[in-house]
Structure 1
Amino acid sequence: MKNLIFLLLCIVICCSRDNDTETDNTSQLPAETQTGANTFGCLVNGKLFYPRDGSFSTAGSANAVTWWGDTSEGSNLYRELDVNNFKDGKPINNFWMHLQDIPTKGTGEYIWMDSNFKHGIDGLMQNYVYVKAFDYNTSTWKWYTSYENSGKTIITKYGGQPIVSGTFSGKLRSADGKETIEIIDGRFDINTATIGNQNFP
């Protein structure tokens, strides 16, 4: 009987620690502001992901956060938010969010669709998110993409100023379709005029 009580006590303590960890991760997310605070954060399967400077760059810009795209009249109008953890690559290394027609649409909902795991002019002309993560157990790279109606980005501020702010959440599936990860509580508040010089230690 004493062994059973001890076992139950251990289970309760472990569960409590797991819940505390997730609560702590949520509390470490930046506030949902619209002031151009140059912040970004989300939970990937309950683990905190945020931009970090470092030397772990494997692709794309050397900046931890980049906001860019094509806003030329008469062309494929889009903007992209690229976020990287160059410090240790955990829980993911690279995050790409493609927002189609945001220069004309502005604030509102952007429903996620499929991606072809490419960005810029090589990506698809629709809204999507994809991420790249290094699996330390198998020493291999894994790619995950949004799919039709798997999530959405809500742009809460855009246009008339250098600030773009929003929230996002949804699910991504692996390139082979066998795994799914969940992104929740995503938020960002970017000053497009200063983000290139922002430090993310």
Structure 2
Amino acid sequence: MRKMILLFIIVLSSCVNDDDGTSSPLPELTFEGKNTFGCTIDGVNFLPRESGFNLNDPIPELTSQYVFINLDAPNGYWFSIFADNEVLSQSITIERILSDMPLTERVYTFGNQEHGVLNADYQTIGDIVTNEYGNDFRRWTNYATTNQTAGELNIIKLDQDKQILSGTFWFDCVDPEGNIVKIRNGRFDVKYKNYY
């Protein structure tokens, strides 16, 4: 029995990811669909990471889609990148929705509503807190781009045959209280899905 308990502890500890992504260097800017993503958040490195605790986690730490959605209304091109760091309980989403124009290799401005909506957000989940009724919950904060915040998404490579999207980004985002987070040095090189 002791051997089984020891084995269980060893297996459990090996599943925990000690690398939270803050001390690792940002990935090189590549254009091959290597499924890389990185940026800085207020000067601290952010990389997608799995925690290792949830073996049946249905949400991968890095996903991307680029698809034309043909529904009743409104139709349009939809592009998104989702990067999750489970160790730090932080995530970044970049998306362009409701666009009548396909993506091209160019610079897009956050907050510009021309030919669709380009926005981004940064979410962080805090510690467990107890409310006045004795219920436990995790406090989360969402920081989002607005028409007043600055930022750019630069699509450097779009290969629709190989489903590769590569580029750079930076943006400021704000929470409901007006606190600003600066996302800088962003780069990605992803293989995207072309279905919804």
* TM-score after normalising by structure 1: 0.66
1:174/1:56 Cα in 2 relative to 1: closer, same or farther (>3 Å)?
farther
Which letter maps to 1:49? F
Match of 1:54 among 29, 51, 56: 51
* Structure 2 residue aligned with 1:154: 154
8 Å CA contact 2:95–2:119 kept in 1: the answer is: yes
Structure with the higher strand share, 1 or 2: 2
* Structure 2 residue aligned with 1:109: 107
8 Å CA contact 2:76–2:100 kept in 1: the answer is: no
* Structure 1 residue aligned with 2:134: none
TM-fit CA distance, 1:186: 0.3
* Structure 1 residue aligned with 2:41: 44
TM-fit CA distance, 1:103: 6.7
| CA shift digits 1:11-69 (9 cap, x unpaired) | xxxxxxxxxxxxxx697000111111110000000111111123678xx9611011125
| CA shift digits 1:77-116 (9 cap, x unpaired) | 1111111011232xxx1211012449713211121129xx
Structure with the higher helix share, 1 or 2: 1
Question: Does 1:79 pair with 2:79?
Answer: yes
1:107/1:52 Cα in 2 relative to 1: closer, same or farther (>3 Å)?
same
Match of 2:119 among 128, 148, 151: 128
> How high is the sequence identity, in percent, across the aligned residues?
22
* Structure 2 residue aligned with 1:176: 177
8 Å CA contact 1:166–1:189 kept in 2: the answer is: yes
* Structure 1 residue aligned with 2:143: 144
1:171/1:34 Cα in 2 relative to 1: closer, same or farther (>3 Å)?
same
Structure 2, unmatched stretches of 5+, are 1-21, 130-137
* Structure 2 residue aligned with 1:33: 30
* TM-score after normalising by structure 2: 0.67
Which letter maps to 1:162? Q
TM-fit CA distance, 1:163: 0.7
1:56/1:71 Cα in 2 relative to 1: closer, same or farther (>3 Å)?
farther
* CA–CA distance in structure 1, aligned partners of residues 50 and 101 of structure 2: 28
8 Å CA contact 1:26–1:43 kept in 2: the answer is: no
* Structure 2 residue aligned with 1:197: none
* CA–CA distance in structure 2, aligned partners of residues 140 and 46 of structure 1: 23
* Structure 2 residue aligned with 1:94: 91
| CA shift digits 1:89-145 (9 cap, x unpaired) | 2xxx1211012449713211121129xxxxxxxxxx400001111245986211100
* CA–CA distance in structure 1, aligned partners of residues 87 and 40 of structure 2: 17
Which letter maps to 2:181? I
Which letter maps to 1:105? L
Structure 1, unmatched stretches of 5+, are 1-24, 115-124, 194-201
Which letter maps to 1:33? T
Which letter maps to 2:41? V
Question: Does 1:65 pair with 2:56?
Answer: no
1:27/1:51 Cα in 2 relative to 1: closer, same or farther (>3 Å)?
closer
